Amino acid sequence: MAKAKVVVLGGGVGGTFVANKLAKHSDKVDVTVVDATGVHHYQPGLLYVPFGWEQPEKLRHDERKLLKPSAQLIKAVVERIEPDKRQLQLLNDGTINYDYLVIATGSCPIPDEIPGLSEGGHHFYTEPAAVSLREALSKFEGGRIVVGIAGFPYKCPPAPIEFTLLLDDWLRQKNLRDKTEIVFVTPLPQAFSIPTVTPLVEELFARKGIKIETFFNTESVDPQNRKVLSLEGMELDYELLILIPPHKGSPVIIASGLGDKGGWVPTDKFTLQVKGQERIFAIGDATDLPVSKSGAAAHFEAPILAQNLLHLIEGKEPIAKYDGSVMCFVEAGEGKATVLRFNYERPPQPPKPSSWWRWLKALMNRFYPVAVPKGIAPDVFLAMLQGKFAEFQPFCGSDLMKGLTQNKNS
C-alpha cells in the first residue's frame, strides 16, 4: 500500500511537534513541513529580550535540525489552500499536493487594528517588536508606563502579566522604580481571564504597587501627545506604552476561506479535525478551540492529532480525544514562578510562586531546541510534577542540569 502524503503547513511548535510525531511512522506516511522561512522562533523567549536577559539570535533555530530525518522541509510561501484539489497554491505559482493536511499556521499580532498603536506603542510578541522595546527601555528614565492588553484574542494569555512583573524587577535593578508608575490596563473586569488565577495576580500587583485599570477597552493611541484612550472615555498619559495588540489568524487561512471572521480555523475540540474537512486537521494558535493560544496547548494537542490522523489513514475512526490540557510555567517576579495546569473541565489552581517553579521554567527554556519539538520535554516535566523523578535521570548528569542546580534563579 502506498504511503499517505501528509503535509504540515507551518513550522512553529505545533507544526514541528506533530510532524515529528508522525515521522515516527515513516512506514505509513511521508511527512512534509512547508514553512515560509525554515527558521523556527522560540517565541516564549521574546519575553526576556526587552530587558536584555535574552538575545534574539539565540531564539532562532534551523527548522531542518528540529525535524526528524524522515520528515521533509520545503521553504515556500503558501498563498492559498484548495481542499477540493488537496493542494497548496504557492506564491510563485507552484503547487504542493497532499493526501492529508495539518494546519499549523499560528496567529499574527495586528497592531494596526488600534489607531495609533503602531506609532505610539510597543509590544514583545515578535522579534522586531521585542528589540524595539528593548531600545525604548534603554532610554527610559522614569514616568508612567502603561502596559496591558489592547484586544482579544491574543496568544499566551499570561505573558502580559509576566512582563509586568518582570518590568517591576527590571526597574528596581535600574533604580528607576521609585521614579515610575506602572498602570496595567485590560478590557476585562479583573486582572486575568481565568477567575481561579486572578487572586494571585491581583495580590502580586498590589504588593508591588502596580495599579490595575479594568474595563479599559483601548480605542486609540495619540502618539504625539502620549495618550491612550479607551472606549469608556478614560484617557491615560504615558511616558512608555506597552500594549499587546489583538491577534488574527494567518492570512492564508483568510484567503482560503477556511476561517471565521478572525481567521481562526473551526476545529473539533476533541479530534482536532477541521469541521467539514475530513482530511484536514488543525493545531495550536490557528484553531478556534476554547483553550489558550500557546505552545503549551499545542504540546498536548500534537499526540492526539497524530493518533487520529493515523487512524484515519488506516480506515479507522479518529477516536482519540484532546481534553483541553495545558501546562505552562508563569513568571511571578523576584526569581519566582508558578505553574498553570488545566483542561476543558478543570480550571487551574496555581501554587504559591517559588524559585522551584522558576528553575523548571528556565530548564524548559534551555532544553527546548532539542527536546520540546521532538515530544520529549512535556512528558519529562509532567513526570517531574507527578513525582516520577526516575524518568528525569537521563538529563541529570548534563552540564545544563549542573549549572541550573547551582543557580536556580538563572
Q: According to the model, what pLDDT value does residue 1 have?
A: 66
Scanning the structure block, which residue is given the C-alpha cell 488600534?
A: 114
Residue 320 lies in a domain: no
pLDDT surpassing 90 at residue 370: no
Q: According to the model, what pLDDT value does residue 378 have?
A: 55
Across the chain, mean pLDDT equals 91
Contact status, residue 328 vs residue 158, Cβ threshold 8 Å: yes
Tell me the percentage of the chain whose pLDDT exceeds 90.
Answer: 85
pLDDT digits (tens, 9 = 90+) for 97-143: 999 999 999 999 999 999 999 999 999 999 999 999 999 999 999 99
Q: According to the model, what pLDDT value does residue 376 have?
A: 64
- Could you tell me if 25 and 125 lie in one domain? no
pLDDT surpassing 80 at residue 373: no
- Could you tell me if 150 and 192 lie in one domain? yes
- Could you tell me if 133 and 235 lie in one domain? yes
pLDDT band (50, 70, 90) for residue 369:
confident
Residue 157 lies in a domain: yes
C-alpha separations of 403 from 205, 368, 393, 399 in Å: 31, 16, 16, 6
pLDDT digits (tens, 9 = 90+) for 335-347: 999 999 999 999 9
State the residue range of the domain holding 31. 4-106+250-313
- Could you tell me if 123 and 225 lie in one domain? yes
- Could you tell me if 238 and 120 lie in one domain? yes
Which H or E element spans position 117? Answer: helix 117-120
Domain harbouring 33, CATH code: 3.50.50.60
Strand-pairing partners, residue 247, are 109
Q: What is the mean pLDDT of residues 393-397?
A: 42
Instruction: Give the end of a domain, one of 287, 313, 339.
Output: 313
Residue 318 lies in a domain: no
Strand-pairing partners, residue 263, are none
Scanning the structure block, which residue is given the C-alpha cell 503558501?
A: 78
CA distance 94 to 87: 10
- Could you tell me if 238 and 349 lie in one domain? no
Q: According to the model, what pLDDT value does residue 382 have?
A: 56
pLDDT digits (tens, 9 = 90+) for 245-287: 999 999 999 999 999 999 999 999 999 999 999 999 999 999 9
Q: Which residue has the higher pLDDT, 284 or 369?
A: 284
pLDDT band (50, 70, 90) for residue 405:
very low
pLDDT surpassing 80 at residue 76: yes
Contact status, residue 333 vs residue 355, Cβ threshold 8 Å: no
CA distance 114 to 243: 10
Identify the sign of the CA torsion 368, 371, 374, 376: negative
- Could you tell me if 117 and 234 lie in one domain? yes
Number of domains within the chain: 3
Alpha-carbon torsion, ordered 345, 324, 109, 200, to 10 deg? 40
Q: Which residues have CB under 8 Å from 358's CB, separation 6+?
A: 329, 331, 332, 335, 336, 337, 408, 409
Q: According to the model, what pLDDT value does residue 386 have?
A: 53
Q: According to the model, what pLDDT value does residue 372 have?
A: 67
Q: Which residues have CB under 8 Å from 20's CB, separation 6+?
A: 66, 67, 68, 71, 373, 374, 375
- Could you tell me if 237 and 143 lie in one domain? yes
Q: According to the model, what pLDDT value does residue 396 have?
A: 42
What's the grid cell of residue 111? 497592531
Instruction: Give the end of a domain, one of 246, 265, 295.
Output: 246
Q: According to the model, what pLDDT value does residue 92 have?
A: 84
Residue 303 lies in a domain: yes
Q: Which amino acid is present at 269?
A: K
pLDDT surpassing 50 at residue 395: no
Residue 276 zone, left/alpha/beta (φ > 0; ψ -120 to 50; rest)? left
Residue 352 lies in a domain: yes
Q: What is the mean pLDDT of residues 181-191?
A: 97
pLDDT digits (tens, 9 = 90+) for 195-240: 999 999 999 999 999 999 999 999 999 999 999 999 999 999 999 9
